[in-house]
Amino acid sequence: MSQDNDDNKKSASALGELKETVRSQAKEIERLKAQIGSSGSAGLKKKAASSSKSSHGGGHGGDCELSEEELAQYLTDPFYKVGMHRVGWLGIFLASLSATGLIMKVFEETLEKHIELALFVPLLAGHGGNTGGQTVGTILSGLSAGTVKVSDAPRVVWKEAMAGIMSGTILGAIVSPIAYKILGVSFHVAAVMLFTLPFISMIASTLGAIIPFICVLVHLDPSVIAAPAMTSLVDVVGLMGYFMIANYVFKFYGLEL
């Protein structure tokens, strides 16, 4: 009988200890839940503050990222409102492209004497837009993600300019022999292409890197302005450079302009 009482006491004591352990664990779980909840709330507040700062032009490189409200507004805005928001800048860039017509007029006699030069004008314009478009897309993605900041601008512009020269040199070394051997273009025009492609690639990459940073600094929307501004400037500067390079190459070969 005494043995049974001892066993009952031991069982009760073990059960009491077990209940106490369960209570302490429950308290610890509640404490951890409260801690996690407060941390999550703080994280959400921090994220919201960061998003708000980004959408209002904070100087940390995330200025081109659209807030949720702006994205929702874009989806709900009618097409004519979106078009009216863009048409002003497009008109400005269209007017700037008229400079290409003036350049063609200035070098009209050169084109008449060397009609082969005109064959590559669309190719060079398209290449400049493609090259600069790649750079603009890269910079905008970096700014939106916060991996690229305005303070990184000098290093980024230098890197893009060097990358443009390298890619243009490689393409020039490929295109010029093809134009000369396969397309039957004269050697001096092929030489013009050899030097023009690196030049246009450098200009396009450099402008494609600079313009988004400028838009951020002056609080303009780089997603609307950067790409068309880059294209317009590259077309004008690239075409002028094309004819000036042709001028020097032709003089080197003793050709009449």
192 and 81 within one domain: yes
208 and 113 within one domain: yes
118 and 233 within one domain: yes
177 and 83 within one domain: yes
104 and 8 within one domain: no
90 and 15 within one domain: no
228 and 113 within one domain: yes
What's the CA gap between 235 and 240, in Å, rounded?
8
In a domain, 60, yes or no: no
Q: Using one digit for the tens of pLDDT, what is the confidence trace for 34-61?
A: 555 554 444 444 444 444 444 344 444 4
Give pLDDT, residue 50. Answer: 43
Give pLDDT, residue 44. Answer: 41
98 and 159 within one domain: yes
In the chain, the number of structural domains is 2
In a domain, 257, yes or no: no
204 and 123 within one domain: yes
219 and 130 within one domain: yes
Which residues, given as ranges, of the chain have pLDDT below 70? 1-72, 257
Give pLDDT, residue 151. Answer: 93
Q: Using one digit for the tens of pLDDT, what is the confidence trace for 113-138?
A: 888 999 899 999 999 999 999 999 99
244 and 212 within one domain: yes
Domain that holds residue 8: 1-54
Give pLDDT, residue 68. Answer: 60
162 and 200 within one domain: yes
Convert 59-96 to b/e letters by CB count within 10 Å (16 or more is b): eebbbbbbeeeeeeeeeeeeeeeeeeeeeeeeeebeeb
Give pLDDT, residue 2. Answer: 52
